[in-house]
Structure 1
Amino acid sequence: MANLSLDNSLTTVIIIFTVKPEQQLELIDAIKEFLETVKTQPGFVSANLHKSTDGVKVANYAQWKNIETFEAFRSNQDIQTKAAKLFEFDTPDSHVYEIVTSESKVGTPEIKTGEYVVHFAEFSMQPENQPKMVELAKEHIKPAMEQPGLLSATFHRSLDGTRVINYGQWENQQAIEELVKKPGFSKAAPYWEGIADNEYHLYEVVHTVHS
């Protein structure tokens, strides 16, 4: 299973597709088929597919041994040709990340099917604003963890400076709805206002693949 560890001993790649609800399952099936090839590549560690409960997103939380093996995979044209079906959908938001802060009530967070309700909070920003966004994430993660039902929160920053993603694990959707009512976490004057744009969706883990 995938562990979300602060030691960043693995390279994390998060790929988020936006789809029409009627295409979501078709995309998941296409990714599953491609992963049969991906899992044989040198340096591949894991891939973890998530589908959003509203039908408009598919996310892959992937791990590689290091950046070199991931770049070799990405530049292998023979392998990428086998991903042709994926290119029929909208271009995904794909970045390489490192974990910058994490809090958990359940030990080191692990990605498993059928265990939790997951959220990807996607923050987009100008690169000059990423350090401030990371600072704000570190400041607000502990107050967020006081919310009953929030089991873990793990913030990632993209190496290109344009994204921060919070991967959260929850007992249920109701707990999430309570958090976004609190000052600083609601749409009214959120803590990231003026620093980043944000959208989040709720997901379930539907498929995991390991080397």
Structure 2
Amino acid sequence: MSINLTLRTSADSNVVALIERLELGENSGQEPVAIPQPPNRTPVRTREQSLALPAVMGTVRGWSRKEGFLGSVVLASRDHNRITVYSQFEPDTGDDAQPALRVLDSIDALGIPARTLDRRTYDLMWRDGNEALTAVSPLHTPVVHFGLFTVLDDQADALLEKVEATAPASLVTPGLRTINFHRSHDRQRVINFGTWSTFEHFHVLHEQPGFTTGEKYWQGLATFENDYFDVIGVIGKNATAGEELLG
């Protein structure tokens, strides 16, 4: 099974996204440092990730029976001790569902130290790609890139204008299938959910206009961090154990 994430403008997508990003392990008291680029070619799977992922999958599978649920992608960071869950809902259910839909609770129940890095609801603002739709599955898009923008001085709209003008240049990168930009409801975050078949040629991205050293298109508009993930599972509406693809 795979789910199709049809990411158009917020006016006609009829979808909101809930993104929960978790850091596992003991809290050192220091914020995670932005990871180097390009991503590690060999994923690093921590003990905490391996223990927590089955519980996370089970929790999200339970969401699939809720009204308004459209699908979730469970992601494990290949550079950090992190798990992220990206979920889509019909617009009338996204914000209301937030208090009840927390994967952190399932990890806490296992006694694994964990904390929430970020948890917000997003509108799907703009997409482009080498494919007409954004289809996510462990076979089609085994790796996903999050471009994490923390917006400066209410510059979300200005950042999205820059995105539309500059981001399509990234699509010449071998392995990059689609780019999908989301703006949080509080307008403090923009996330690019980038789908990839492979990260092997990620370095080509940094040779494109707007992405080279000293020429980042988001300068003055946002601070930026990458995170690189393996797609662990995709869960569609009314899923049962064994139906979804697992990485």
Residues 128-137 or 92-101, more deviating:
92-101
C-alpha displacement of 1:64: 0.9
> 3-state SS of the aligned residue for 1:148?
coil
Mark the CA change 1:72 to 1:142 in structure 2 (over 3 Å): closer, same or farther: closer
Residue 93 of structure 1 pairs with residue 121 of structure 2 = no
Assess if the C-alpha contact under 8 Å between 2:104 and 2:116 holds in 1: no
Assess if the C-alpha contact under 8 Å between 1:123 and 1:165 holds in 2: yes
Look up the match of 2:179: 153
Mark the CA change 1:71 to 1:100 in structure 2 (over 3 Å): closer, same or farther: closer
Unmatched segments (≥5 aa) in structure 2: 26-45, 238-247
User: Percent identity between the aligned chains?
Assistant: 21
Residue 136 of structure 1 pairs with residue 162 of structure 2 = yes
TM-score, scaled to structure 1: 0.86
Assess if the C-alpha contact under 8 Å between 1:114 and 1:204 holds in 2: no
C-alpha displacement of 1:189: 3.5
Residues 193-202 or 26-35, more deviating:
26-35
Paired AA for residue 167 in structure 2: I
Equivalent residue in structure 2 for 1:32, among 50, 57, 64 = 57
What does 1:1-211 align with in structure 2 at a 5 Å threshold?
1-6=3-8, 7-20=12-25, 21-66=46-91, 68-76=92-100, 84-87=105-108, 88-116=113-141, 117-126=143-152, 128-211=154-237
> 3-state SS of the aligned residue for 2:180?
strand
Q: 2:104 & 2:81 partners in 1: Cα distance?
A: 20
Residues 106-115 or 27-36, more deviating:
27-36
How many residues align structurally? 207
1:26-78 CA distance string (max 9 Å, x none): 33223112223322222112111111222433221101122x323333345xx
C-alpha displacement of 1:96: 1.2
Unmatched segments (≥5 aa) in structure 1: none
> 3-state SS of the aligned residue for 1:137?
helix
Paired AA for residue 8 in structure 1: S
Assess if the C-alpha contact under 8 Å between 2:7 and 2:126 holds in 1: no
Mark the CA change 1:149 to 1:85 in structure 2 (over 3 Å): closer, same or farther: closer
Q: 1:56 & 1:161 partners in 2: Cα distance?
A: 27
Mark the CA change 1:4 to 1:176 in structure 2 (over 3 Å): closer, same or farther: farther
Assess if the C-alpha contact under 8 Å between 1:34 and 1:83 holds in 2: no
Paired AA for residue 4 in structure 1: T
Q: 1:72 & 1:154 partners in 2: Cα distance?
A: 24
Residues 23-32 or 42-51, more deviating:
23-32
Residues 182-191 or 157-166, more deviating:
182-191
Residues 183-192 or 93-102, more deviating:
183-192
Assess if the C-alpha contact under 8 Å between 2:104 and 2:114 holds in 1: no
> 3-state SS of the aligned residue for 2:57?
helix
CA RMSD of aligned residues (A): 2.3
Q: 1:71 & 1:143 partners in 2: Cα distance?
A: 33
Name the structure with the higher helix share: 1
Paired AA for residue 175 in structure 2: G
